[in-house]
Structure 1
Amino acid sequence: MGWFSKSSDDFFLSTVVPQGQGGAQVAQFLGLVNGEAVIGANIFRDMFSSVRDVVGGRAGGYERALAGARESALADAKAAAQELGANGIVGIDFDYEVLGETNGMMLVSVTGTAVRMA
């Protein structure tokens, strides 16, 4: 797995901690932040996913739902960081976990360190 980094609206996100070599530099570490999102599978997505299991291919409905949950969890972490006065999150970790009695739900968790960038 590679690294992830993006910057928008004066907010910096990265899975690595920049060392300041001609680029971004951390001025202050403010603390740990996280965000979570839980998505549930619905019957139509399940039906089409079962077909994909047999014939192969990608399950677009699940992929879109997972991407939405990931963005939601990242937005929650960003909001928590901004409450601390941060303008970035570094050391971001994305975690995924299947939940529920019949594995019908998925948790997407984002954790990182809120920072003030120089």
Structure 2
Amino acid sequence: MIVTTTNSVEGRRIDAYLGIVSGDAVMGSNLFRDMFASIRDIVGGRAGSYESLLQEAKDTALAEMVERARALGADAVVGVDLDYQVIGGDSKTMLMVGANGTAVRLAH
């Protein structure tokens, strides 16, 4: 499955637009992750635990979107956009990642 942020696939013609597909992932953080991120905020540096959580959320959202495109018989998803939200606050922080695109069938 080809997944691209562009509106076309270079060298391929889009034969049919099958509809908008999306995938979402809501990932909870935890007290220890938040505590270490707060320390990083003070002393500087990268928050590796949050980076890995963000990567996992992106991978999950994209995989869900691709699965929905496959169910429609798509060869590709074009115009992919990733959206990020932080939900909650204090000790109940959650990260939401949404992946949206257009499922298409490519000419062979």
Task: Give the TM-score normalised by structure 1.
Answer: 0.84
In structure 2, relative to structure 1, the CA distance for the partners of 1:69 and 1:19 (3 Å cut) is closer
Q: How many residue pairs were aligned?
A: 106
Which of the residues 55, 59, 71 maps onto 1:83? 71
Which of the residues 72, 81, 93 maps onto 1:104? 93
Gaps of 5+ in 2: none
Match of 1:36 in 2: 24
Greater RCO between the two (CA within 8 Å, min separation 6)? 2
Q: Secondary structure at the match of 2:12?
A: coil
**CA root-mean-square deviation:** 1.4
Query: Identity, % of aligned pairs?
Result: 47
**Paired residue type of 1:86:** A
The 1-side partners of 2:58 and 2:97 are apart by 6
How far 1:101 moved relative to its partner? 5.1
Gaps of 5+ in 1: 1-10
Which of the residues 90, 102, 107 maps onto 1:113? 102
Instruction: Please tell me whether the aligned partners of residues 83 and 99 of structure 2 are also in contact (alpha carbons under 8 angstroms).
Output: yes
How far 1:18 moved relative to its partner? 1.9
Q: Which moved more, 1:55-64 or 1:11-20?
A: 11-20
The 1-side partners of 2:30 and 2:88 are apart by 13
Question: Per-residue displacement from partner, 1:49-86 (whole Å, max 9, x unpaired)?
Answer: 01100110110000001100110000000000000000
